[in-house]
Amino acid sequence: MIVESLTGKRILITGATGFLGTALVERLLRCIPECELVLMVRPGRHGATERVKRDILRNEAFKQLRVACSQTDETFEETIKRRIHAVAGDVSIDGLGLDSAGRDLLASCDIAIHAAATVSFDSALDDAVEVNLLGPKRIADVLREVCSPAHLVCVSTCYVAGNQRGAAYEQLITESPFFVKVDWQYEVTCARQARNNAEQNSRLPKRLASFKAQARRELGAAGRPALANKTESLRQRWVKDTMVKAGRARASSLGYPDAYAFTKALGEQALIETRDGLPISIVRPSIIESALVEPRPGWIRGFRMAEPVIAAYARGLLKEFPGVPEGIIDVVPVDLVVSAILAVAARGPLHTGPDVTQIASGSINPLKYAQLVDLVRNWFIKHPVYDEHDQPISVPEWSFPGRGRVTKQLKKVQLLLETADRVLTLLPLRGRYAEMSVNLDEQRALLERAKEYVELYGAYAECEAIYQLDRLMELWETLDSEDRANFCFHPSVINWSNYVQNIHLPSMVVQARLKMTANTHSKKSHSHTDRRRLQVMSPQRHLAVFDLENTLIASNVVASYAWLATRELDDLERVVFTIKALKEIPRLLALDRKDRSDFLRYFYRRFEKAPVDLIATECREMLSDLLIKKSFPQGLRRVREHRQAGHTTLLITGALDFVVEPLRPLFNHVIAAEMDVKDGCYNGHLLSAPPTGESRYQVLLEFARDHNCDLRESVAYADSTSDLPMLEAVGFPVAVNPEIKLASLARRRGWLIENWSTSAGTPNKLIPLAPRQKHRTCHS
């Protein structure tokens, strides 16, 4: 019945880039001969056709079809070109954003399967309204406008019934429309107004100031463009979070677990009220999970509802999770859902009232929450996840507390981590010591994620609803034996122990990229750091640009000045100088953190009246007494390796040019701060902005342009977030002995991190003093 009814039909599918949509496309192409598919997708940057190829057809789900095509006279590509029509459209826009050709294609369709949805459980309220509530209505409106004869099959969800507690088998959730007692049109208006209000509130002066302050806390003196981009990113995140909270609050007020279920319920209501004679069927799957059989056992696309929670449990992040042990987790494999949808499409619409078919398992083949937990725990006991130290993670015995208790416990731990993080952030930690703060930050992020899982999925774990499947079983009875074999959707075929432990979990750990084996020394594989080093040193690199302070040497402009300023001071004068310098350090650090360029201009005033010739002589002596002693041998070696590899090497530093002049032979090019000269002495004023922060980025751009270097094939080494503009400008950034903020950012972005140190026995004086000389070089 199914094959005969759908063969030769032209079928519109929305949401084809999603999990369910991709499975629908694959099954129709493979199992329904000569049907044609019209795939409506948002075009993106490359157009609808290219997006269909890239985001749908390259998926592993189509492996069977590719093999089948290889055994015929028609290639896979030829089959796709003949049977698929890509249309640029967007269900969040009135009229779907279709051009005339797209409208003509929709007019020619016999069946429309609307699977597009915002399926995230933490969707912004207005996004969910535009897609989930208005999307089905917009599809129906256009089908009527183009006079299409299509039967519209709309994919909804069983959870339109809302949160249900204490349900019994004789109190099943029926296959009938659920009309929420609210005006869906007014809900649309209010959701849009909520977005406008959030945007306006995000621009209030006090709130913008708080975003700016947070950006500076996270990035430090990263320069105006980086701080501005971060500030705007924080503002946009605040707006999104505000809309997510608005969605949860509105959904909860009406008895729904989240904005997804709430807007799906209103979407059904809007569609039924406005269909105006259009033939429609509504199918309501429960929680859709990995495939039982087709296109292969365990096939899944993206993280579904259960995967984040299971992965967090396997990693030892979640010790307990809310839920009712006797409750039913209503899960259905994606291939059973696809089969049921195609059966509904083949049957056509019912004319005895609203046509609603629920696709679930709980009333026929229930999976109890406690049973699922036991299956998962036992599997991970046999197949543990390994931590970063290659030790197996022991999974706890799961308890079943309420959401409130779990959330309270997580908040307590989160508060402790935040306090520790704030303390460490105040300390001037670098390199390996900064990793302590980075690790704390990662733990805090994991904890926040666990808290989100509890908030997002806890209501589903506590739901005790059981869904009526009368229509689904009536449909099953109409199928012949061939259809039942090829398009099986009967829930009783699922063996939960086999499905969870032999099909779903083995696939899930691959999808989640969980570490399931310990690394061994016998494995000839490179670590992430080794791979990044190989990429950095590739002959294809054009330019290697280096910062100086804390990147190549464990010194700074204050240390260089102190060395020069104490050349001829006697012992008492040196004590006075040192005390004065130590007292000034907190103020200098504060100025440096606020703005590196302003700090350098202020500090370099001290070189006023310093004789140019004498400074040049003493800087050559300072090279061996201070700079070389304070250098990082691994860093200097890396500079030489880049030159040997044929890369252009460039030092860009805010240090004064006469200080770094002795280092010039090490590099192909050196760009440093330059000071004006008057009557043979430096006057304490810079000739131009020192090359730090934004200025360093601009200098790098100009150098790359003048020397024909592709920054995408270049490397940059630096230690601070003030160097972020330069690091982000190249294709291969390297964080060297990074401060806390840069260490955290580099870890998140997967950058190479190098921790270089001085030679053993190197003096570690905060204020280095020079050997005494007869001349006064600088005024203290």
Q: Do residue 86 and residue 211 come from a single domain? A: no
Q: Domain end: 478, 511, 544, which one?
A: 511
- The residue range of the domain holding 137 is 2-182+254-511
Q: What confidence score (pLDDT) does residue 555 get?
A: 82
Cα 639 to Cα 548, 648, 757, distances in angstroms: 11, 10, 15
Per-residue pLDDT, 393: 86
The predicted structure's pLDDT at residue 701: 93
The two tokens of residue 766 are 């905060």
Residue 777 lies in a domain: no
Report yes or no: 285 and 155 within 8 Å, Cβ to Cβ.
yes
Residue 445 has pLDDT above 70, yes or no: no
DSSP 577: H
pLDDT at 3 over 80: yes
Q: How confident is the model at residue 576 (pLDDT cuts 50, 70, 90)?
A: confident
Same domain, 158 and 193: no
Question: Helices then strands (H, E): number in the chain?
Answer: 31, 18
Based on the domain organization, do 580 and 558 belong to the same domain? yes
**Rounded to whole angstroms, how far apart are CA atoms 539 and 530?**
16
Specify the pLDDT at position 431: 54
Q: Is the pLDDT of residue 294 over 60?
A: yes
Asked if the model's pLDDT at residue 37 lies above 60, the reply is yes
> C-alpha dihedral over 410, 411, 417, 418, to 10 degrees?
150
Taking only the tens place, the pLDDT of each residue in 666-684 is 999 999 999 999 999 999 9
Highest mean pLDDT among 185-189, 433-437, 775-779: 185-189
Q: Is residue 766 part of a domain?
A: no
Give the mean model confidence (pLDDT) for residues 567-581: 81
- Residue 622 is predicted with a pLDDT of 84
* SS3 (DSSP) at 540: coil
pLDDT value for 311: 81
CA atoms within 13 A on the CB side of 605: 6
Least confident range from 116-120, 403-407, 490-494: namely 403-407
Average pLDDT of the residues in 164-172: 54
The larger pLDDT score, comparing residue 22 to residue 301, is at 22
Task: Say if residue 172's pLDDT is above 80.
Answer: no
Find the CATH number of the domain harbouring 447: 3.40.50.720
Span 236-282, pLDDT tens digits: 999 999 999 999 999 989 988 889 999 999 999 999 999 888 999 99
pLDDT class of 653 with cuts at 50, 70, 90: very high
**pLDDT at residue 394, as a whole number:** 86
Element (H, E) at 37: strand 36-41
Number of neighbours of residue 484 by Cβ within 10 angstroms: 16
Residue 696 included in any domain: yes
* Range 50-79 average pLDDT: 91
Q: What's the pLDDT score for residue 446? A: 63
User: Quick one: what percent of the chain has pLDDT higher than 70?
Assistant: 85
Digit-coded pLDDT (tens) for 462-482: 677 888 999 999 999 999 999
Q: Is the pLDDT of residue 490 over 80?
A: yes
What's the confidence (pLDDT) of residue 741? 80
164, 177: one domain? yes
Q: Classify each residue of 570-589 as buried b or exposed e, where b means 16 or more C-beta atoms within 10 Å of its C-beta.
A: eeeebeebbeebeeeeeebe
User: Would you state the structure tokens that stand for residue 606, as one six-digit string?
Assistant: 């001290």
Rounded-to-integer distance, Cα 278 and Cα 144, Å: 7
User: CA 61 to CA 39: how far, in whole Å?
Assistant: 17
Q: What is the spatial distance between Cα 112 and Cα 340, in angstroms, rounded to a whole number? A: 15
Residue found by looking up tokens 């921790």 in the block: 755
Give the total number of structural domains in the chain. 3
- Predicted local confidence at residue 775, as pLDDT: 47
Residue 779: pLDDT band with limits 50, 70, 90? very low
Q: Kindly report, residue by residue over 387-440, the tens digit of the pLDDT.
A: 877 888 888 787 766 555 656 655 665 666 566 555 555 555 555 555 655 666
Q: Quick one: residue 505, left, alpha or beta (phi over 0 = left, psi -120 to 50 = alpha)? A: alpha
Query: How sure is the predictor about 20, in pLDDT bands with cuts at 50, 70 and 90?
Result: very high
Going 483 to 485 to 487 to 488, the CA torsion angle's sign is: positive
**Average per-residue pLDDT in the chain?**
85
Q: Could you tell me if 585 and 571 lie in one domain? A: yes
Residue 762 lies in a domain: no
In angstroms, the CA 172 to CA 470 distance is: 10
Q: Whats the size of the chain, residue-wise? A: 780
Residue 319 has pLDDT above 90, yes or no: no
Q: CA 243 to CA 258: how far, in whole Å? A: 12
Q: Hey, which bits of 531-680 come out as E strands?
A: 543-546, 610-611, 648-656, 669-673, 675-678
Identify whether 773 is part of a domain.
no
CATH code, domain carrying 543: 3.40.50.1000
Residue 775 included in any domain: no
Q: How confident is the model at residue 325 (pLDDT cuts 50, 70, 90)?
A: confident
pLDDT at 525 over 50: no
Are both 163 and 188 inside the same structural domain?
A: no
- Cα–Cα dist 513/530, whole Å: 20
Which of 253, 281, 307 terminates a domain? The answer is 253
pLDDT over 50 at 522, yes or no: no
Residues 501 and 397 in one domain: yes
Confidence tier at 170 by pLDDT (50, 70, 90): very low
* The pLDDT value given to residue 357: 94
Kindly state the tokens that stand for 459: 């209501």
Is the pLDDT assigned to residue 360 strictly greater than 90? yes
The confidence band for 289, taking pLDDT boundaries of 50, 70 and 90, is very high
Question: Percent of the chain scored above 90 by pLDDT?
Answer: 50
Shared domain for 229 and 377, answered yes or no, is no
491 and 573 both lie in a single domain: no
Q: Which residues contact 155 (CB under 8 A, 6 or more apart)?
A: 15, 20, 113, 114, 115, 117, 283, 285, 341
Cα angle value 569/570/572 (rounded, 5°)? 110
Query: Which tops the pLDDT comparison, 55 or 445?
Result: 55
Per-residue confidence band for 320, with pLDDT thresholds at 50, 70 and 90: low
pLDDT band at 524 (very low <50, low <70, confident <90, very high): very low
Q: Could you tell me if 669 and 615 lie in one domain?
A: yes
Single-letter amino acid code for the residue at 321: F
pLDDT tens profile 72-114: 888 999 999 999 999 999 999 999 999 999 999 999 999 999 9
Q: Pick from 461, 483, 511: which residue ends a domain?
A: 511
d(CA 403, CA 423) in angstroms, rounded, equals 31
Residues 33, 70 within the same domain = yes
Of all helices (H) and strands (E), which one includes residue 77? helix 76-83
350 occurs within a structural domain: yes
Amino acid 164: pLDDT:
64
Helix boundaries (H) for 607-680: 612-622, 633-644, 657-660
Q: Buried (b) or exposed (e) across 292-304, using 16+ Cβ within 10 A?
A: bebbebbbbbeeb
Distance CA 711, CA 728 (A): 10
386 pairs with which residues across the strands?
392
Q: Which two tokens stand for residue 384?
A: 């543990």
Asked if residue 779 is part of any domain, the answer here is: no
User: What pLDDT does residue 637 have?
Assistant: 94
Task: Read off the pLDDT of each residue in 51-69 and give the average, rounded to a whole number.
Answer: 91
Residue 523 has what pLDDT? Answer: 45
Q: Check whether residue 275 and residue 375 sit in a common domain.
A: yes
For residues 483-501, give the mean pLDDT: 95
According to the model, what pLDDT value does residue 53 have?
Answer: 92
Cis peptide before 295 (omega within 30 of 0): yes
pLDDT of 447 reads 64
| pLDDT(322) > 60 | yes
